Structure formats: structure tokens, C-alpha cells
Amino acid sequence: DAGITQSPRYKITETGRQVTLMCHQTWSHSYMFWYRQDLGHGLRLIYYSAAADITDKGEVPDGYVVSRSKTENFPLTLESATRSQTSVYFCASRGSLEAFFGQGTRLTVV
């Protein structure tokens, strides 16, 4: 199916565990983004990527790692999850102008 998909949709993990959120897009868009959404903060950019093997930090990168070995995939890893990383995470891709968003991953760190 064409589009951008995130997995899993819901995840509960324990403090200190490593967890990876997946993002896959079928358009071959150059730019991909990871945002977190928390009440009162809107969407905050975690990392973004301009192309395969090119990534850069956003506003709130601490505690997160990204990679982009293939254009279509942009996984986000929480190396050692903390309760403050409980949030809804959105992946997006952008070809020229507008961005397309996945459905989000609701992550709870207990």
C-alpha cells in the first residue's frame, strides 16, 4: 500500500529498555522526520533526515538515535527509555513541499 506507515501503533515498555519505532514510506521522499507530541507542547522535532545516510538533530534529540540506511525507512530508537519519553510519536516524509504523516505510535514507558 502506498503511503507512510508506523509500527507498532501502541507500545508499553519498561524504564531502561531499548525500543525501536519503525517508519516506512513508499514514495521515495528525500526528507523524513520524527516528532513527538505532548500536551501543551504541540509537535517537537526529534530528528530529521535529508536522504539516506544523512541525519540531523531537531529540537529534542537527547535520548534518541536514528538511522537511515535506505530511503524508505527511518527507524527511531530509544536507547534506554525513560518515563519522560512517554509520548505519541509521529513520523513524516516530505517530497517537495507538503509533509505526509503516519498514524503515530503511542509509547508508554512504565
Q: State residue 30 phi and psi, 5-degree precision.
A: -70, -45
SS3 82: coil
- 103 touches other proteins by CB under 8 A: yes
Rule CB under 8 A: is residue 42 a binding residue for other proteins?
yes
Q: Mapping DSSP to helix (H, G, I), strand (E, B) and coil, where does residue 85 land?
A: helix
Rounded Cα distance, 102 and 90, in Å: 6
Q: Which residue in 2, 62, 98, 110 binds other proteins (CB under 8 A)?
A: 98
Question: Is residue 31 near other proteins by the rule CB under 8 A?
Answer: yes
52 is a site residue for other proteins (CB under 8 A): no
**89 scored as a contact of other proteins (CB under 8 A):** no
CA distance 68 to 75: 7
Question: Which of 44, 61, 67, 86 touches other proteins by CB under 8 A?
Answer: 44
Q: Does the bond joining 61 to the residue before it have cis omega, within 30 degrees of 0?
A: no
Total binding residues toward other proteins, as defined by CB under 8 A:
25
x/- mask, other proteins, residues 1-30, rule CB under 8 A, reads: ------------------------------
What length does the chain have?
110
